[in-house]
Structure 1
Amino acid sequence: MIKSTTLKRLLAGAAVAAAVVVAGPALAKDKLRICASTKEAPYSAADGSGFENRIAARLAVAMDREPEFVYTDKFAIYIVGEFLDAKKCDVVMGADVGDERMLTTAPIYRTGYVYVSREDKNFTGASWNSIADTDYGRFAIRFYTPAEVMLKYAGKWEDNAAYLYGLINFKSRRNQYNQVAADQLVSEVANGGADLAIAFAPDVARYVKSSPVPLRMTMIEDEIVRSDGKTIPLQYDQAIGVRKDDRALLDEISAALPKIRGDIDAILTEEGIPLLPPSS
């Protein structure tokens, strides 16, 4: 039989232990592992200042998860194959709606390609072919984009190629991926190095907005019609993607998105991105 003093000590110890359990740390939240690149400003940056970083962080909170950014020093073109599919991360921001490599949410915003010009140039073209009849000879663009096709179809590529390769220090595109930095597209126009920049609006909106030289963004309103009759769209719905076998996560994200609709709109507006009504 336990003596009363011993019993009291045991009961007191049990009470302390119970108190520790009750007052102990809350269970850790599940993490939302977000695929991200350190080379994709203004979308993503190592310090979390990219506008997609900010949207992703809001999304994680709405899902009652902890945001965890899984960064790579590679360009975003490698993220799906080398990181998402390899299960190093689970969420891709800024996916095209219907990207066949992933399951995607409904659009979170829609925007398109724009011309960036100096205000004092008073350029007002709104068609992809508006550049054909100009005397402009220098166009700042990113490689592997519809802007490259625009220059070729408008007869402006050959005279512009040497200038463009100079923007990447004449590094070959044959064996490695090289790209013109988004902020450089804008600075080239601002300092007179280029007559126009042609870019996806989210690439350049931040830098146009902050430019000390007054600049103008003009949305390109039509599509490129190729010689074979096929079209190349210049406006895109942007969404969030997950692996094809991760329907549960997609559903969880989709349920949380309405909770941060206001946050998304505020972030995009602050960024200066011109928005269009979603097409789907």
Structure 2
Amino acid sequence: MIRISTARRALTGAALLAAPFAASQSASAAEPLKVCASKIEAPYSTEKGDGLENRIANVVAKAMGREIEFVWFDRAAIYLVRDGLDKNLCDVVFGVDSDDERVLATKPIYRTGYVYVTKSEGGPELGSNWKGLEKTDATRFAVRFSTPAELILKEAGKYEDNVSYGLSLVNFQDKRNKYTQVEAGKLVSEVVNGDADAAIAFAPDVARYVKGASTPLKMTMIEDDFARSDGLKIPLHFDQSIGVRKDDEKLRAELDAAIAKAKPEIDRALSDEGVPVLPPNA
């Protein structure tokens, strides 16, 4: 189930001549950065290594002076901590929320949030507040299951009319006892095709597809002021970090230093992807 590949591995005569110097370096500097990665989590991570988090991982490893070793899993990224990090098969997981209790998280790599995706012309005017859904006559919205986007539909009174449509996005697969999720690219294609009036999505889920869409689309960041009817606040903006095992403070410190060093390249990767960013909270 796991395939390990090592990128940028090179051994030159110069490196051999420098062996006495290399031996004096710390052991951790010589070790590859073993990254838990999903083969099927586009646009973040793919078997080809062309996902956003694959790119950022390469940048961070370079800043650390380490080679990178992706430890690949055939399952969705939600299982990487349990099946990879906790079993010591790999040492870092990219793209965790900064307050993820399962891990020791680095300083934020970036902060972003949930967006409306609509056609640049002719799409519904939803504003930048979640209550824009309550006021619109639009009826069909593409969202991923068990996300703040789905909760917004419920609070705005749009959920019941979207149940069958939402299930159609996964061909009415049974969601019981298994992880079933709408493909990120499909959220965007539904808007392009006119099958959805809008999509509500976490910006990095869809930025790549919005940027490459055949029909001009726009993303509008939704304000972080969403609360359920019982008063519970549901965050819509999130700091994204790298997770390590809870007892690995040394590695976290190395990663924090690398994030600071590599910030221009990380920012470039986010810009190339089209991800809108916000000032980090932490």
Give the TM-score taking structure 1 as reference length. Answer: 0.89
Deviations 1:203-242 (A, max 9, x none): 0001101111010100001322122221001001111110
Query: What residue number does 1:70 align with?
Result: 71
Larger helix proportion, structure 1 or 2? 1
User: Which is greater in Rg?
Assistant: 1
Deviations 1:114-153 (A, max 9, x none): 0000112242421112111212111111111000101111
3-state secondary structure, aligned to 1:199 = strand
Count matched residues.
260
Query: What residue number does 1:257 align with?
Result: 259
3-state secondary structure, aligned to 1:232 = coil
| Structure 1 unaligned regions, length at least 5 | 1-20
CA positional deviation for 1:29: 3.4
3-state secondary structure, aligned to 1:120 = coil
C-alpha RMSD over aligned residues? 1.7
Instruction: Please point out which of 264, 270, 273 is paired with 2:272.
Output: 270
3-state secondary structure, aligned to 1:59 = helix
Q: 1-side partners of 2:88 and 2:168: how far apart?
A: 37
Q: Which contiguous aligned blocks of 4+ residues in structure 1 show a shift greater than 2 angstroms?
A: 21-29, 121-124
Query: What residue number does 1:49 align with?
Result: 50
Deviations 1:169-217 (A, max 9, x none): 1111111111111111000000101000000000000110111101010
Give the TM-score taking structure 2 as reference length. Answer: 0.88
Percent sequence identity is 57
Query: What residue number does 1:35 align with?
Result: 36
| Structure 2 unaligned regions, length at least 5 | 1-15, 24-28
Q: Which amino acid aligns with 2:31?
A: D
Q: 1-side partners of 2:231 and 2:185: how far apart?
A: 34
Instruction: Please point out which of 205, 226, 229 is paired with 1:227.
Output: 229
Q: 1-side partners of 2:159 and 2:126: how far apart?
A: 21
Aligned pairs for 1:90-129 within 5 A: 90-122=91-123, 123-129=125-131
Q: 1:45 to 1:136 in 2, by over 3 A?
A: same
Q: 2-side partners of 1:165 and 1:153: how far apart?
A: 19
Aligned pairs for 1:160-175 within 5 A: 160-175=162-177
Query: What residue number does 1:83 align with?
Result: 84
Q: 1:47 to 1:132 in 2, by over 3 A?
A: same
Query: What residue number does 2:4 align with?
Result: none
Aligned pairs for 1:182-197 within 5 A: 182-197=184-199
